[in-house]
Structure 1
Amino acid sequence: MNIQQAFNASAADYDKLRRILIPCFDDFYKTAVEVIQNDASSKDKALRTAPLKILDLGSGTGLYSGMVQAVFPNAEFTLLDLAIEMLEKAKSRFNRMGKFPRIMIGDYTQTDWEGSYDFVISGLSIHHLSDPDKQRLYQRIYDTLNPGGMFVNADQVKGKTPILEKLYRQHWLDSVCALGISHEDLNAAKKRMEYDRMAPLDTQLGWLEAAGFQDVDCWYKNFSFAVFGGHRLTK
């Protein structure tokens, strides 16, 4: 089973398990949305009044982008993912809000993103890429952003030492067990985790800066869960 098949197979139960599999769910996603909200409110009037163009890489069921859409009802979304079943759920999520995002099926490391964007976002997806692919992706994201645009990555990161990584994994396991995860769901999650190729936060912040991003920062971190990103230069 490849990664596309693994996530298609989990699409039906994906969302209902999020609050268990992401023990810090509320603060994690709250920060991931607020950093966009705060950044957009600081832009010039022309950008604030024009519809924001937002690209969600590895959008899955649209959980993250749906939260952003609720805050920016006029924003125009492009949702890109290789798991068709996930995208069907994302489409339904947006349709229930009366919204009709552009849906793109494919591998976002290879697919043409078709245009430039004010925000590029990603939730719990990029950690599946190899380190070289992450670096290439960060450069491509920078190049596709409009001047002053912002990249926000809500993702999982690796502990920068073996001891820290062991701590992160044990904390996650203890947390999901305390939240009542079933044996079946835990095994399924561990199976999906076989596709994880996480990198340390500090390393990824360095890659963002090397790609040209400014104001690179981590706005939230809880063990392996982090929200980080940066801006493209205004001019």
Structure 2
Amino acid sequence: MSQNTDYDTFAEDYSKENESSLMNQYYERPAMLKLAGNVRHRKILDAGCGSGPLTEALLERGAHVSGFDSSQGMINLATKRVGDAAELFVADLGQPLPFADDSFDDVVASLVFHYLPDWSSALQEIRRVLRPGGRLIMSVNHPILYPWTNPGQDYFKLTKYSDDHSFNGQPAILTYWHRPLHAMSDAFAKAGFGIEVISEPPYSTEAPAELVPDRLKERDAFISFIFFVLRAP
């Protein structure tokens, strides 16, 4: 997670919200796990693991998992969650990672890349630690969201912006970088990745009715995040 957003100040409240929210528990995480498929015995790096809900889900499915986050508070919560079942440490996405080349079958990056102003070094480092044919499975804010919720803003311009949020009742500000879809695909290609899947999935049918806003009850999908499966050569 980016230094622009200090998760240490609201790590516990964010984690509690993440556990049961429509956006995370019943939309983003199920989509990531579905894209990952059968991960049994696969070695996976959870980049930007936060408090570890995806790490835990991958472990339960038989994967061997390592994870990192830039927030010490998040890593403390992830360690409480999974104990020593996963190797967890503090690191910044885009900086050199303490792994040899070709160390992982997959890297998952759940809602983390949209905190980065530049994707080049992060993608190159992920490419380095992935084995040939390995996958990067990632989710980011959908590129239509920023110009959609901020009428008049330029869709095609790389733009830094902040949103007010409330996590478990505590106010917080998250800072993101908007980039158009073609800039995402250009960054993937420059790092040597091939795009296998672009997904705009529905939310889970298991979502409790009280979590679904009235305006969405007649639909099975909405636009919030976009998901990619990328393949390393």
User: How is 1:82-231 mapped onto 2 (pairs within 5 angstroms)?
Assistant: 82-95=70-83, 100-115=85-100, 116-130=103-117, 133-159=118-144, 162=147, 164-166=148-150, 184-185=169-170, 187-188=171-172, 191=173, 193=174, 195-220=175-200, 222-231=222-231
Q: Which runs of 4+ in 1 moved over 6 A?
A: none
**Structure 1 or 2: larger strand share?**
2
Q: Using the alignment, how far apart are the partners of 2:50 and 2:70 within structure 1?
A: 8
Give 5+ residue unaligned stretches, structure 1: 41-47, 168-176
Shift in CA distance, 230/22, structure 1 to aligned 2, threshold 3 Å: same
Q: Percent identity?
A: 22
**Structure 1 or 2: larger helix share?**
1
Of 33, 43, 68 in structure 2, the residue corresponding to residue 80 of structure 1 is 68
Q: Using the alignment, how far apart are the partners of 1:65 and 1:52 within structure 2?
A: 13
Shift in CA distance, 225/19, structure 1 to aligned 2, threshold 3 Å: farther
Deviations 1:143-171 (A, max 9, x none): 32101110011222332883x3537xxxx
Q: Check conservation: 2:99, 2:129, Cα contact below 8 A.
A: no
Give 5+ residue unaligned stretches, structure 2: 152-164, 202-221
Give the deviation of 1:84 after TM superposition.
1.0
Q: Using the alignment, how far apart are the partners of 2:191 and 2:131 within structure 1?
A: 15
**How many aligned positions are there?**
198
Shift in CA distance, 4/159, structure 1 to aligned 2, threshold 3 Å: closer
For 2:69, the aligned partner's letter is: D
Q: Check conservation: 1:54, 1:119, Cα contact below 8 A.
A: yes
Which residue matches 1:170? none
SS in 2 for 1:197: strand
The alignment's TM-score, normalised by the length of structure 2, stands at 0.72
**Is 2:43 the counterpart of 1:53?**
yes
Which residue matches 1:174? none
Q: Check conservation: 1:31, 1:220, Cα contact below 8 A.
A: no
The alignment's TM-score, normalised by the length of structure 1, stands at 0.72
Q: Using the alignment, how far apart are the partners of 1:57 and 1:90 within structure 2?
A: 13
